[in-house]
Structures are given as structure tokens and as C-alpha cells.
Amino acid sequence: MPITKTLASLTDNLEFAAYRPRILIVDDQVINIQALNQIFARDHEVFMATSGQSALDFCRKTPPDLILLDVIMPGMDGLEVCTQLKQEELTADIPVLFVTAQNDANEESRALMAGGMDFISKPVNPDVVRARVHTHVTLKLQRDLLKQLVFTDPLTGLANRRNFDQAIDKEWRHCQRNGKSLAVLMIDIDCFKQYNDTYGHLQGDTCLQAVAACLQAGFRRPHDIVARYGGEEFICLMPECELQSAISKAASVLRTITDQAIPHSSTKVSDSNIVTLSIGVAATVPGDQLSIAELIAKADQKLYEAKQAGRNRVGA
């Protein structure tokens, strides 16, 4: 999705006009859950958990926007739940508001030290808890927006180079631990300078967006990353993917772009008057032979070879 549309969508979210924030209420007493549910059910999606472990399981599968968490519960108490949430990448940024009958400064200090954002005493005042939840949800959505702006290419809506660099570092370590192959595809639009010269830069931007949309649609596995690497160049990361599978995916991408038949009257590709791609593919099991930089350089070399061989092809 282009960043302008994403920005508009998230702005709506901040006003709660088109988005119902997702709140998880965690308390071993059902009557307390019911009381909070009455406060938030009209404007929020409310989920409930009656134990610390069930709360952790829920957050790991579908992270909510905010958690209202009781401190004193049998088994795993709220402080331990919050501590574990803050230790995991997927759940670390979820704001936690402790709700407890304890009204002690030391207890409040422990809750905040565990990673809680706020401390609300029971019995709750509906107006107060509603206002605090609104504030913390708004702040979280703003943080999410800023993170998206930092890691998203504004023209195409794809991941940007900073996003890719972080992703390949993470997936490199994952594949290294598991002895799996990691593949990289370096992709370039053929004769893009001539395209801009012929059709203008505004149409060039439209072309980049169309190619980006095709690439995004073509890589559907959860950990695949498609990024704009610079100019008319894109890069794709495919964890746990052998070289031959990556070559097959690259060939599929070429066909998809060809099927789009985007006109390109000044292309230098033989027997073609449409936009085409050249792709370089490389793969390795991390730790065996290549470093991250060497893997990317190898894919870039294979891209160069594909272009030298006539473009509109896969080099591997």
C-alpha cells in the first residue's frame, strides 16, 4: 500500500473513526472482566483472559493494542506476565496498564519496573480508565505510524533498505541456527533510464509502483521480504529457500511482469516493447562460505551477468 494511503488510514485510527482498538483484559475474577468490558465494549474490540499463561498465548498469536492486567493472580502473576511480554520482540511494544486492588507505592513501583505504562487502582473510575486507555492506545498507534514511516519506501509501500538490512541480519542468524539456506534475489527494471526519458518521471513512478505491486504479490511466505533497494532496483529475501527454488520463483516473477505488458517503446531488450526485469539469484547456508555482504554481492554479480546476456532473464 502506498505510504500516503497508509498515513491516511492510520490518521483515521488515531481518531478512532474507522478502527476499534483491540484490548485484552486479564483478570482471574470474571466479575472484574465484566466490569471493564462494559466500559470498553462499545468502542473497542475486547478480549479476555483469566490466567497469565492464557494471556501470553493470546498475545503471541494476535497481539492486542493494549493490555489491562491484574497484578495478583494465582500461578503466574501480572508482574511475571508483563516481564515476559517485554522480553519478546513480538509483544514488547504492547502497552500494559496494571489494574489492581493494591494501593501501595511499592507495588506501583514494582509494576512500573516490570514494564507497565500505568497503574490503575480498583475499583476503577470508568471515566479515568477510559481516558488513560485512550491516551496509551493513541500513543501506540503514533509509534506504529512512525515505525512504518522509518521502515517503508514512500513511493512503493515496500520495505526500504534499512528495513531489509535489519531483516537479513535476523534471518541470517535464524537460518544459521537451523542449518537452512538463505536466498537473495536482486532485481532491476531493464532500461529504466530510457523509460523515464520517453514517458517522463511521473509515469516512471507509476511504473515502479506497478512493478512493486507485482513483486509484493509474488512473495507470499510470512518471512519473505521485498524491498526497494534504490532507484529502479529491488531486492528480495527468501529464508529457508534453496537456490533452485529461488531460481524458479525468479522465473515466475519475470513471467508476471511480462504478463502486465507495461508499454516500453524505447527498451533495448530484443523482440520486446514492454517493461521487463533482469534478476540475479544467490543462496547460501549462513556460516558455510559467504558473509551477508558477499551473498548480496554475489546476487548483484548474477544480475550483472543477466543484463550482459541480453536482459529479461535470470542469472544464477
pLDDT at 13: 45
pLDDT at 4: 43
d(CA 285, CA 269): 34
Any residues with CB less than 8 A from the CB of 285 and at least 6 apart, and which?
A: 175, 176, 179, 180, 181, 182
Query: Is the Cβ–Cβ distance between 302 and 281 less than 8 Å?
Result: yes
Position 272: which residue type? S
d(CA 186, CA 204): 20
User: What cell does 102 get?
Assistant: 493494591
DSSP, collapsed to helix, strand or coil, labels residue 188 as strand
Nearest to 306 by CA among 250, 229, 242, 241: 250
Q: How far is CA 177 from CA 2, 283, 290, in A?
A: 35, 16, 15
φ, ψ of residue 236 to 5 degrees: the values are: -125, 135
pLDDT at 226: 96
| Residue 157 CB neighbours (<10 A) | 19
pLDDT at 278: 97
φ, ψ of residue 179 to 5 degrees: the values are: 65, 35
Residues marked as catalytic? 232
d(CA 59, CA 67): 9
Q: How many residues does the chain have?
A: 316
d(CA 294, CA 176): 15
Please give the average pLDDT of every successive group of 10 residues along the chain, which has 316 residues: 46 57 94 93 94 94 94 91 92 92 78 87 90 93 83 92 92 93 97 96 96 92 92 96 96 95 93 94 89 95 96 94
DSSP, collapsed to helix, strand or coil, labels residue 72 as coil
Query: Is the Cβ–Cβ distance between 97 and 67 less than 8 Å?
Result: yes
Which domains, from first to last, does the chain contain? 3-149 (3.40.50.2300), 161-315 (3.30.70.270)
User: What cell does 116 get?
Assistant: 507497565
d(CA 227, CA 246): 16
Angle at 88 between CA 85 and CA 93, to 5 degrees: 65
